[in-house]
């Protein structure tokens, strides 16, 4: 599991690489995240490498690769989801390309654009794209796409309580939603940050 800062640095490297075809320098990462020194960046890079999120070539500048596996996968982009008030489910069919290490090793995946700030404490912000693994159940406390009232979708942490289901935002300024029934459409497996 990555910390919020580690996720943000990893996402920044990926977006930079997608735009320019090579990874950012340690100095560019340091400036982007207002870190004290390049050695702090090096520490983050080492942690990301140890956790298997990146690979680095020794003594070569800008030689960071995302993930152990080479390559990317295309996943269907199915529109937008509310991380706030539920919105009507609308499916648009496009595709988006993501690094292989951002999808689970098995199962079907899809991507959704996030609107709203109800999940900011989970590192999911307005404008981000979440990668969802299709499944119809989740463990208590997992972040999922839930269909409520037949046609509204929302992104929340799901908790099964005695005779209701709590849809919990990850933002202390927002109240949970309580429903009797939901249809789980999938679980969040990764987040693509928009800068």
Per-residue pLDDT of the chain (195 residues; tens, 9 = 90+): 678 888 889 888 888 887 877 888 888 999 999 999 988 988 888 888 877 788 776 666 676 777 654 466 778 888 788 776 555 555 556 777 777 777 887 888 888 888 888 899 988 989 888 999 999 999 999 999 998 887 788 899 999 999 999 999 999 999 999 999 999 999 999 988 765
Which three-class secondary structure state does DSSP give residue 80? strand
Euclidean distance between CA atoms 195 and 190, whole angstroms: 16
Task: Indicate which residues carry an active-site annotation.
Answer: 118, 156
Residue whose pair of structure tokens reads 């595709």 in the numeric block: 95
Domains and CATH numbers, the chain: 4-66 (1.10.10.10), 72-192 (2.10.109.10)
Euclidean distance between CA atoms 131 and 72, whole angstroms: 13
């Amino acid at each position: 599991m990555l910390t919020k800062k580690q996720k943000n640095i990893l996402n920044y490297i990926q977006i930079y690489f997608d735009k320019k075809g090579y990874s950012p320098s340690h100095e560019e990462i340091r400036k982007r995240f207002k870190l004290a020194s390049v050695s702090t960046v090096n520490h983050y890079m080492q942690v990301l490498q140890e956790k298997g999120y990146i690979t680095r070539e020794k003594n070569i500048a800008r030689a960071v690769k995302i993930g152990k596996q080479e390559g990317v996968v295309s996943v269907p982009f199915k529109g937008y989801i509310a991380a706030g008030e539920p919105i009507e489910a609308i499916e648009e069919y496009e595709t988006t390309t993501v690094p292989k290490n951002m999808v689970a090793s098995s199962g079907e995946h899809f991507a959704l654009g996030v609107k709203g700030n109800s999940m900011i404490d989970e590192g999911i912000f307005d404008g981000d794209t979440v990668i969802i693994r299709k499944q119809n159940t989740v463990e208590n406390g997992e972040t999922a796409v839930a269909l409520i009232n037949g046609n509204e979708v929302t992104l929340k942490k799901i908790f099964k309580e005695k005779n209701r289901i709590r849809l919990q935002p990850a933002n202390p300024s927002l109240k949970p939603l309580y429903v009797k029934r939901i249809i789980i459409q999938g679980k969040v497996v990764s987040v693509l940050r928009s800068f």
